[in-house]
Amino acid sequence: MVDVDSETLFNAAAAGLTTVAVLVFVFNVDLGYSPVSILAVAAAFLAGVVAITQRTDDRQLTFLGYGVVVVSTVGVFVDLVNTLDLGSEVTVLGLLGIAAVLFSLRARLDDANRLVSGATATRLFGALAAVAVVIVVVDVVTGGLAYELQSETRIEIEGDSRQNPVAATVTVTNPTPLPERVDTPHYEACVAGDWSEYRRPAEPDRTERPRVRANLNVDDGYNDHVLGFSSRTYPAYLFLDAANVTGETFRVERTAACPDDDTGEPYIAVYEDSNRRYRTAVAV
């Protein structure tokens, strides 16, 4: 039976919880800032762990600190690859590179299992902490992404009305020097004007014909990012639940909200819906 004293247990538990905290921070915490800021803070924290391992005389604490840094570094690298969508090849090469670096570091270990002097490790921590502060300050001061919804002038419904024609585009501009994650506002579409002739037939157990419904879906990908001082444009697809619209052409307008008018030429309004996250806009 392995003899584990209380000090070993507490040291191992602290190392494990620290590793979990770093991984949760990197993968799950969304502060609304650039992923570069998150990675810079994580790197500075790990540099602090390294500084502790190089200044202590406790070999066990040094060993566990190395474990925290190695596992967390792999986690930070995987998150970076996923964030920038670098692909499996880069992931494999990066992991092999990390393995090669770890293997080569064995030759630098001294009799106390230290890689560098405590003073050098402290200076490294100070430098990375200063860089992290600068990156976070720049990220906060320069603001976030700017979104612009631009509607098409007219759209033609070809084939089934559910084939989702492009009714608008969303241009995302990044005025900051850091990459930012795309999180488009909730844009919506509704029908306005007189759509009575495009209503679907009533259900057998109902007398009223269902209203025409419209939805707008921005195809902004998953976990997409815009690099610093650049922009990207995403299509916004229209879903139109209506009858007898094949071959028809409808006007599209950018509005502040869903119009209330139900007379005159039928048209499609696109707008930002800031009141509800999910909504189906309807009109008669």
Q: What is the mean pLDDT of residues 25-51?
A: 92
pLDDT at 7 over 90: no
Residue 156 to residues 197, 266, 267: CA-CA distances in angstroms? 17, 13, 12
Residue 230 to residues 171, 226, 281: CA-CA distances in angstroms? 11, 7, 33
pLDDT of the residue at 277: 44
Confidence of residue 84 (pLDDT cuts 50, 70, 90): confident
Same domain? For 31 and 98 the reply is: yes
Give the HSE-up count for residue 44: Cα atoms under 13 Å, Cβ half-sphere: 17
Q: What is the mean pLDDT of residues 182-195?
A: 94
pLDDT of the residue at 23: 95
pLDDT at 237 over 90: yes
CB atoms within 10 A of CB 10: 10
Name residues whose C-beta falls within 8 Å of residue 45's C-beta, 6 or more positions apart in sequence. Answer: 22
pLDDT of the residue at 144: 86
**Cα–Cα distance for residue pair 123/146, rounded to 1 Å:** 38
Same domain? For 191 and 106 the reply is: no
Instruction: Find out whether 204 and 63 touch, Cβ atoms under 8 Å.
Output: no
Same domain? For 72 and 92 the reply is: yes
Same domain? For 190 and 276 the reply is: yes
Strand 267-272 to 249-254 pairing: parallel
Percent of the chain with pLDDT over 90: 68
Give the count of domains, the chain. 2
The span from the first CA to the last CA of the chain, in angstroms, equals 77
Q: Is residue 110 part of a domain?
A: yes
pLDDT at 40 over 60: yes
Q: What is the mean pLDDT of residues 258-278?
A: 85
Residue found by looking up tokens 């490790």 in the block:
121
Confidence of residue 111 (pLDDT cuts 50, 70, 90): confident
Lateral strand order in the sheet of 154-156:
154-156, 249-254, 267-272, 187-192
pLDDT of the residue at 261: 87
pLDDT of the residue at 284: 34
pLDDT of the residue at 200: 86
Backbone angles phi, psi at 66, to 5 degrees: -60, -40
Q: Is residue 181 part of a domain?
A: yes
Q: What is the mean pLDDT of residues 34-61?
A: 94
**Structure-block tokens of residue 5:** 């004293």
Confidence of residue 275 (pLDDT cuts 50, 70, 90): confident
Confidence of residue 280 (pLDDT cuts 50, 70, 90): very low
pLDDT at 281 over 80: no
Residue 241 to residues 68, 134, 159, 163, 254: CA-CA distances in angstroms? 54, 51, 13, 10, 20
Burial 262-283 (b: 16+ CB within 10 A, else e): eeeebbbbbbbbeeeeeeebeb
Q: Is residue 136 part of a domain?
A: yes
Q: Is residue 82 part of a domain?
A: yes
Q: Is residue 267 part of a domain?
A: yes
Q: Is residue 1 part of a domain?
A: no
- Mean pLDDT of the chain, nearest integer: 89
Amino acid letter, 207? T
Q: Is residue 28 part of a domain?
A: yes
Confidence (pTM) = 0.78
Same domain? For 70 and 189 the reply is: no
- pLDDT, tens digit (0-9, with 9 covering 90-100), for 118-133: 999 999 999 999 999 9
pLDDT of the residue at 37: 93
- Angle of helix 59-84 relative to helix 6-28, nearest 10 degrees, comes to 10
Boundaries of domain holding 83? 6-142
pLDDT at 278 over 70: no
